[in-house]
Amino acid sequence: MNHRPYNVLVVASNNKALHNLLKNSKKLQEEVILIAASSLNDAVQTIESSEIDAVIVDINIGSTSLIEFNYQHPQLPILLAGDLSTELSVDELIHEGMYDFLDVANLPLTSVVTSIKLCVSRYAAQGIAHTWHHPILHKLKSMEHIFSITSQKEDSTSTQIHKMLEASCELFGEQFCFIYRLINDQFAVDFQHATTEQKPLISLPIQEKLNYLAINSPNPIHFTYQQLNEHFSEAQLEQVTKSYMGCRIIVQEKVYGVLCLFSNTPRVIPYTGIDISFLKILAEWTGTLLSRQLIIDQLQYSETHDALTGLLKRYSFLDQLKRCFARSLLSNNYSFALIIIDINNFKDINEQFGHTAGDALLKQVTTRLQANTRPKDTVGRFASDEFIVIVEDADHQQAEQCCMRIHSAFTEPFEIENTKRNVTCAIGFAISHEHQTEHNLLNAAESMQVKTQ
Query: For 285-305, what is each residue's pLDDT tens digit?
Result: 999 999 988 888 888 889 999
Contact 99, 61 (CB under 8 A): no
Pairing, β 32-37 against β 6-11: parallel
For residue 383, is pLDDT > 60?
yes
- One of 3.30.70.270, 3.40.50.300, 3.20.190.10, 3.30.360.10 is the CATH number of 314-451, namely 3.30.70.270
**Which residues make up the CATH 3.30.70.270 domain(s) of the chain?**
314-451
Rounded percentage of the chain residues whose pLDDT exceeds 90 = 36
- One of 3.40.50.720, 3.40.50.1100, 3.90.1150.10, 3.30.450.40 is the CATH number of 138-300, namely 3.30.450.40
How much is the pLDDT for 64? 60
Q: From CA 408, how far away is CA 6, in angstroms rounded?
A: 94
- What's the fold here for domain 6-127? Rossmann fold (3.40.50)
Query: For 250-280, what is each residue's pLDDT tens digit?
Result: 998 899 999 999 888 887 677 877 788 889 9
For residue 427, is pLDDT > 80?
yes
How much is the pLDDT for 130? 40
Torsion, Cα of 325, 330, 331, 336 (10° steps): 0
How much is the pLDDT for 336? 94
Average pLDDT over residues 68-74: 74
3-state helix, strand, coil in the chain (%, to 5): 50, 20, 30
355-371 and 396-409 helices, crossing angle to 10°: 140
**Which residues make up the CATH 3.40.50.2300 domain(s) of the chain?**
6-127
Closest CA to 402 of 390, 411, 413: 390
